[in-house]
Structure formats: C-alpha cells, structure tokens
Structure 1
Amino acid sequence: MTTATAVAGPLDLAAVRQAVDRTLTEFLSAKAESADSAALPELIDVLSRFVTAGGKRLRPLLCVCGWYAAGGGPEAGVALRAAASLELFHAFALIHDDVMDGSDTRRGHPSAHRALEATRAGGDCASTEWFGVSGAILLGDLALVWSDEILTTAAMSAQQHQALRPVLDAMRSEVMLGQYLDLLGTGQVTGDLKEAMDVVRYKTAKYTIERPLHVGAVLAGGRTADLEACSAYAIPVGEAFQLRDDLLGVFGDPLITGKSDLDDLREGKRTPLVALAVQRADERQLSVLKGLLGRQDLDAEGAASVRRVLEETGARRRVEEMIASRYEQAMRALGSVGFPTAVTAALQEIARAATARSS
C-alpha cells in the first residue's frame, strides 16, 4: 500500500457533507442563473429539491475517506469535487429507479416524476402522468451529464484524470448491470440466493461503497494494493447495507424510511430475504409468497401475510445474521490494512451507520 499521510485530528464527516452540499448548491444555482430558457430553472428547481431533500451523502463521504486512505494530503478540493459529482450521479440513478419502480416518494418527499407531474396539476390525468415520467427521464439524464461537468471542471491533473476514468467507467457499467439484473428478476419468486446476491453486489456493494472509495484513492495516487484494501472493507459493508435496505423496504416504518413499505412487495423484488424464505417455506407458506408477491393490488392485509411468512421461515433472522457477519468481516479488514487512524475511525462510523439504521 501507499504510505498514508496522517490526517490531522478526526475526519469531520459533517464538514464533508456540508462542503459537498455547498458545491452542489453553487453549481445548480449557477446553472439556473445562466439558463438560456425560462423552462430550465423549473427543471433545476425540481433537481435541487430532490438532491437537498435528505440523503446520507454516503458516496461522497467514502470518496473523501478513500482520498485520505491512499495518502491524500490536507488539500482535498479535487476529492470534494469528485464527491459532489458522485452525489449528482446518484441523483440520476435514483430518479430513473423511481420511474422504473413507480415509486411515489423518496426520502419522505414526492419522487421526481411525481413532483414534475404536480407542476401540471389540473390538466388531463393521463397527460400529466406522462409529462411527469417523461420529464423525470430527462431530469435524470441531465443529472448524469452535469455529474460529469462537475468533475471535468475540477482542478485535476492529467495523471489524476487518467487514473480516475477507468474507475468511473467501471462504476457506471456495474450499477447499470445491477439495475438490469434487478429488473430481470422482478416478479420471479425463486429461492436462488446467488442471483439475488449478484444484484446486491453490483447494484449496491460495488456502486455505493467500493467505487466511491476507489475514486478518492486513485485521485490521491493510490495503487492496486490501496484499492484492494478498500475493497476488503467495502464489499461486505456494501452487501450489509443493501441487506438492511431490503429489510427496511418490507419491515421499516414509512414515516422514518420516507418510502412505502408496500412497494418492494408489490414489485416482487428478488431479494435475498425472499430467496431465503422460498428455500425454507412449506407448501402453505410458498403458496402465500407466490400468490401475493408481485401483485400491484397488494393491500396491507396481504402484506402482513407475506411478512408473517418471512418471519416464520426464519428468513428475516437469517438476513440479520448475514448483516452482522459482513459487518464483522469489514471490521477485521479495517484492522489489518493500516489506514490512518482517523480514516479507520470514520470508516467504522460509516459501517455502523450503514448496517444498523432505521432509514
């Protein structure tokens, strides 16, 4: 590994969040002020509200951690710029994800397509819904394009750009693959745990944890050993993060999660939670799962029946065990890689927050 420079004092994650938020706000405000058309500020306003409405800023935090883990110095401006770029890319992914899932809310607020639909309230119902979905597709595309612009306008050397590009390209390809695997499996009630875990790995573990760490690390001049050390921590944490998300999608409180607790069940998402239940279900329990999962008209009573099966089969308990074992694996990895003390402490805090959360 690269010999890591000491980080002066604790790594202030709250300050990183604030710096990323400030970068995003300034960038989007400048776009609105320089807009050639009066229609663009309306679109930017929806994007701004979407980006600033909560969010853990997990990817930006990990990007900055990767910078310091690989020996980056105190002048972390380029890493912060990359961190903001990752958050705008994530906005693109979430906006399109909500369109595909037909989700009405995100982080306790209307999803982007619902927010855009509301701007045309009072018109024909079918046409306003079409407008919201179509506008959200364009808005997500715009967030993707601007995520690149934030990055390309950073004060980055040619060497940094050359090192960064393959990591970004891999991240983007991986999350698209993960989304497609998720789409392929939706509505298929099967006990194939491997396929469900492939979705977890590509859609979340690599995209959410591993690649943001890699982005910061390569900007700091990190080498293969640094990236491997990041991965040893990232993959188990990322898998645990998504497993927790799967549980919250079914058993979480919508007032806390900001999302419906019916959406995942109505979509029939192929998750490890469901795969484990199918593997362990008796004939009656399997009939419940196959009869109710994926039904768009699933009501609260039907959802309660599915939840009972997930509990009775021990699937929920097993997922909790998988989360705990992956958290422990990540902690062991952190203890052996030799990151600066401040970085290790920050990554421990992020892992705890990612795996033991209620939203």
Structure 2
Amino acid sequence: MYTLKEFKKTIDPLIQAFLDQKLKSLSFIGNEETKNYLNYLKLFLTEGKRIRAYFAFLMYKAHGGKKDKDILNLLIFIELLHAFLLIHDDIMDKADQRHSIKTAHKFIEEKVKHLKSIDSAYFGISQAILLGDYLFAWTHEILDTNTIFDKKIIKDVKLILSKIMDEVILGQMIDLNTTLYEKVNKEEIIKKIILKTAYYSFVRPMQIGAILSGEKYDEKFLERFGTHLGIAFQTQDDLLDIKFDESKTHKSSFNDIEQRQQTFFTNYIFFNGSLEEKNTLSKYFGKKLSKEDKKSLRKMFEESGAITYGEKIMQENFNDAKKLLEKQKMNQEYKDLFFEVIKLIETRQN
C-alpha cells in the first residue's frame, strides 16, 4: 500500500504519459509558440503533492477497491482538474510564482514581452485561460472514455465533479466579493473555506474514491472529517503566506494581503487589533509590498496575537479531524495511512 510519497512517484509518470499522448495529437496543428505553451503543462504538472488524488485512492482502498492500476489511471482526472483550477486561480490572484516556477500567465507573458506592439500581460492571461480550458476538457475525457468502471459509478462520479465546480466557483465568487471590504465577518471566511478548500480538496475526493469502490460509505463522516481538514489546511496555507518567504513556500508571499484576501489573520486584526495595527493593515491592504513592508507586516501579525489566534483555529481543526478518524470504523492499515498524511500536512512548510 502506498504512502503519499510513493503514490506521487507512481501516479506522476501516468500523468506525464497522458499529457504526452494529448500533446502529440495536437502537435501537427499548432505552431512553435503554441507547442511551447502546451508543453508548459508538463512542467506545471510535475509539481504538487497529489493530496486530492491520494485521499480518493485511500478511500477507494478503505472500501475494498481492488483495481489498483485502473484506479490510478482514472484518478489522473483529479490532478488535471486541480491544475486547471490553479491556473485560473493564479490569474485572479495575480500570482507570479507557484511550485518554484512562473505561473502560466506569467510564463507566457515573458515569452512575448519583447514584442512591443502587443499587451503581453493580456496575451499571457488569455493563453493561460485556454491552457486551463484544455485541462478541464481532458478531465471530462478521462471519465467519458472509461471502459473499466461501471457506467452507473462513472455517472455518480461525474455528479460529484459537477458539485465540485458549483462549489469552487461559488467559493471563488464569495472570495472575490470579500475583497471589496476591509472588515468581513468570520462566518463569511469559513463559508468560502468550506466551498473552496474543504469540499474541493477533501470531502469530494474521498466521496469519489468511495463511489468508485462500488460500496456504501459514511457520507456524514466524510463531510465532517473533510471539513475539519479543509479549515485546518487553508488556515495553514494562509499562515505560510504570512510567516515565510518564497524561498520556503515556493510561491509568492503576502499574496493574500496584496490581493485583499480575507483570512482569519486579517479578520483578527480588523476586529481585535489596536488602532495602530488596524491602520497599518489598512495602509498595506491591496498594495504591492516591498521586502521591508513584508517584514513590518510579519512583525505586526506576530506581536498582535493574530498568528497565535490562527494557529489555534488550525490546530483545533486538525485535532477534531484526528478524533473523528480514530473513532471511525475502518481497516487499521488505511486509518494509519490517513494519520500519516495528516501528520505530513500538519508539518508542511509549502
């Protein structure tokens, strides 16, 4: 049975083989520039932890699934979906870097920047949207061309996929809308985390794995377990954005502040901080930050108690998730693997 690291080593070549096949079928159509943009997808998809696909795989195995090779080939669709959403998310977040490489829109923008007659930023965004669209189309292709799993099972998986899209899009709309305001209540932040992270990253992938096994599953457990993990995971992500620079997280730091993203940490300052702390955050909220600005803000978040507050929320949700897992009836082998991956998530720095 695979650990997360072993799972990534196993599924990554399958992802790359799928991309090779797709890019080869398109190569006779495009010119050198478009081939270059499409080949970026291979680089982009070498990165990532494969947490979503792994949670689906573990739940498939925990429910008695036996088709290891077939499930691995099918679960590629989850990683393609994730890459599609990241590319679009990076555009909306105006992010320059992810996984130590340039984001898709920035990669393409750099390729055409020497052409003074065009808007290179707009061009990069346009082509990146299309790259994401390809990934979304291939997500459906993998499910539509499946001949191994029962048609009824695949139909149910596609219904979950539809729910994922409904939830992620709504979560992103809420997320964008909260950037219009400085003070957003905690309930609104929790709502967007549940939609954008908890259900997308944990609840729905586990449901997909359970459905593919063909066995009944405990929906209530998956929802509660996945929601606590999602809140902890997203709070941790927001903490890393503040606490560490690009050299550790391998993506742009303080992006949440620059893009007026509402988190438990900003919420704490705007509702509980001193007048000076509120004014400081307000001054930098939505602005491009220098290294000195980031250093100043980092100190403020630490001294205000915001970091401690967010860490408490994060740890409480990790603990609640582990308690639920401990009580759940499940083969101990798979339960141990879930505990192991939770421990990895708890200690991550990127």
Q: TM-score, normalised by structure 1?
A: 0.91
Contact conserved, 1:191 with 1:274, CA < 8 A, in 2?
Answer: no
Q: Please, which of 79, 103, 107 is the counterpart of residue 111 of structure 1?
A: 103
| 1:275-333 per-position Cα deviation (integer Å, ceiling 9, x unaligned) | 1222211222111121221123x323333333233223211101111111111111111
Alignment of 1:1-359 (within 5 A): 10-35=1-26, 36-39=28-31, 41-52=35-46, 54-73=47-66, 75-124=67-116, 126-154=118-146, 155-223=148-216, 225-296=217-288, 298-359=289-350
Q: Which segments of structure 1 move beyond 4 Å, counting only runs of 4 or more?
A: none
Unpaired runs of 5+ residues, structure 1, are 1-9
Aligned-residue Cα RMSD (Å) equals: 1.8
| 1:238-258 per-position Cα deviation (integer Å, ceiling 9, x unaligned) | 110100000111112311211
TM superposition shift of 1:18: 2.5
CA distance in 2, matches of 1:344, 1:127: 52
Contact conserved, 2:143 with 2:154, CA < 8 A, in 1?
Answer: no
Contact conserved, 1:28 with 1:44, CA < 8 A, in 2?
Answer: no
| SS of residue matched to 1:119 | helix
CA distance in 1, matches of 2:303, 2:184: 16
CA distance in 1, matches of 2:260, 2:187: 17
Contact conserved, 1:63 with 1:216, CA < 8 A, in 2?
Answer: yes
| 1:138-158 per-position Cα deviation (integer Å, ceiling 9, x unaligned) | 111111111111222232211
Unpaired runs of 5+ residues, structure 2, are none
Report the identity percentage: 28
Contact conserved, 1:113 with 1:136, CA < 8 A, in 2?
Answer: yes
Contact conserved, 1:187 with 1:269, CA < 8 A, in 2?
Answer: no
- Residue number in structure 2 paired with 1:7: none
Contact conserved, 1:191 with 1:276, CA < 8 A, in 2?
Answer: no
Contact conserved, 2:229 with 2:318, CA < 8 A, in 1?
Answer: yes
| 1:115-154 per-position Cα deviation (integer Å, ceiling 9, x unaligned) | 1123324211752222211100111111111111122223
TM superposition shift of 1:187: 4.9
